[in-house]
Amino acid sequence: MYPRFSETFIVTEILAREALGADLEIFSLRAPVDPRFHDSLARVQAPVRYVPRVRRAEDLWTALATAREVLGPLPDRLLAELLAADAEDAAQALAVAVAARRSGLTHLHAHFASLATTVARLAALAAGITYSFTAHARDLFHEQVDDADVLRKAADAHHVVTISRFNVAHLRAIGVAPERVRLVYNGLDLEAFPARTGTDDDVEATPTTGLHVVGVGRLVEKKGFDDLLHAVAILRGRGHRVRATLVGGGELEERLRATSSALGLDDVVTFTGPLPQPQVRDVVGTADVLAAPCVVGSDGNADGLPTVVLEAMALGTPCVTTGVTGLGEAVVHESTGLVVDQHDPTGLAEAVARLDADPALARSLATAARALVQDRFDSRRQAAQLQAALAPEAAA
């Protein structure tokens, strides 16, 4: 689905690749359902094609006939795979293949190793071009993920991109050939996330509002926001002046609101709902602490490396996180932030209190975090690495 309100990292990648001169087209398999859009979308030059979804059996036969006319006879192996695939996926793959051939595209790249790569793989095989994909988190770690399916997709791919060393190790563990995997961290447009300037006093709680802790993300289990609410309650019980803002929406919103009320936090916890990126940047950039207490969900789902953590690091907001999946590759304990165990609200509360009590530590961590983001998570570096992965067949 493009655009998706929560996937700002994809738009950032597209913009960075276009800045390097890549000639891109975007295929969206699903129409967007959220009426809100981030302002950065206006800068994307690539045209977007919304791939039709088949609704009737005859639509699939029409797609096959069109594909044969444009692409020529399809190999028997591919026909067998198309017939074995979900009919809608097969029809969309053929539509993408036809569009790619007509546009002269020479490479397809999909985000997420699930549906998008299913379609991209079949489309590339039909069009006789190469493909690659980026593996993130839910597409690797959810209980419904079929490792054999990921392995099959990787085996036919020109290369596989993934966003953390943790993911690289996982892909190798399930059998993906090491030479196929490229570690490319998600990047930020650092000009859009300037580090705040000031003294150590910037991170001290103000006497009127107390320490401001912010959590940003979808209100789902893997974000660990239930632990954050309990950490705020612990801090309040210990006499700390603290308030919290949760930015985002999701399936657990009602439950989290009920937890906040049960803990007596209604006067200090604010639920904003989802916000456009400039407003998220303002909230995070003026916070005293960004808390990302991510957990591995009961269904195996886990975050990869949340973009908002990188944004906070770039802005100079001290971060407290857990060591889940790739988070430790950005937030290094007592170097670029503080890391606590997952499902440990007491440890989370103590880490926040430590930053409150030691502004010099908070500033030191924030300064080192900004330097790490500049070195490792710049979108210009990301775009160059993605282009290099295509060489010598570099194309869009």
The string of pLDDT tens digits covering residues 169-197 is 999 999 999 999 999 999 999 999 999 86
What pLDDT is attached to residue 201? 45
How confident is the model at residue 288, as a pLDDT? Answer: 98
Handedness of CA 375, 376, 379, 380 (dihedral sign): positive
Are the CB atoms for 394 and 243 separated by under 8 Å? Answer: no
- What is the model's pLDDT at position 34? 81
Would the pLDDT of 242 be above 80? yes
Q: Is the predicted pLDDT of residue 270 greater than 90, yes or no? A: yes
Vertex 82, ends 79 and 84: CA angle to 5°?
110
Burial class from Cβ neighbours inside 10 Å (0-12, 13-18, 19+) for residue 49 reads middle
pLDDT at 395 over 50: no
Distance of alpha carbon 216 from alpha carbon 245, whole angstroms: 8
Kindly tell me if the per-residue pLDDT of 203 is higher than 80.
Answer: no
**How far is the C-alpha of 108 from the C-alpha of 208, rounded, in Å?**
54
Percent residues over pLDDT 90 in the chain:
88
Q: What's the confidence (pLDDT) of residue 135?
A: 98
Query: Where are the strands (E) in 74-229, listed by range?
Result: 107-111, 130-135, 159-162, 181-183, 211-216
Average pLDDT, the chain: 93
Residue-level pLDDT at 363: 96
- List, for residues 76-129, the tens digit of each pLDDT value: 999 999 989 999 999 999 999 999 999 999 999 999 999 999 999 999 999 999
Q: How wide is the angle at C-alpha 300 spanned by C-alphas 34 and 171, nearest 5°? A: 95
Q: Which residue has the tokens 């919103």?
A: 253
pLDDT of residue 238 exceeding 80:
yes
Residues 6+ apart with CB under 8 A from 16: 187, 189, 379, 380, 382, 383
Closest Cα to residue 327, out of 301, 307, 298, 354?
307
Look at residue 36 and give its three-state secondary structure.
Answer: coil
- Domain boundaries 191-376, corresponding CATH code: 3.40.50.2000
List the CATH code of the domain at 8-187+378-390.
3.40.50.2000
Enumerate the CATH 3.40.50.2000 domain ranges in the chain, comma separated: 8-187+378-390, 191-376
The pLDDT of residue 392 is: 54
Which is more confidently placed, 60 or 250?
A: 250
User: What is each CA distance from 261 to 239, 255, 258, in whole angstroms?
Assistant: 19, 10, 5
Write out the two tokens for 356. Answer: 């409150």
- What is the pLDDT at residue 54? 87
User: pLDDT tens across 34-82, in order?
Assistant: 877 788 899 999 999 999 998 887 888 888 899 999 999 999 999 999 9
Instruction: Quote the pLDDT of residue 198.
Output: 56
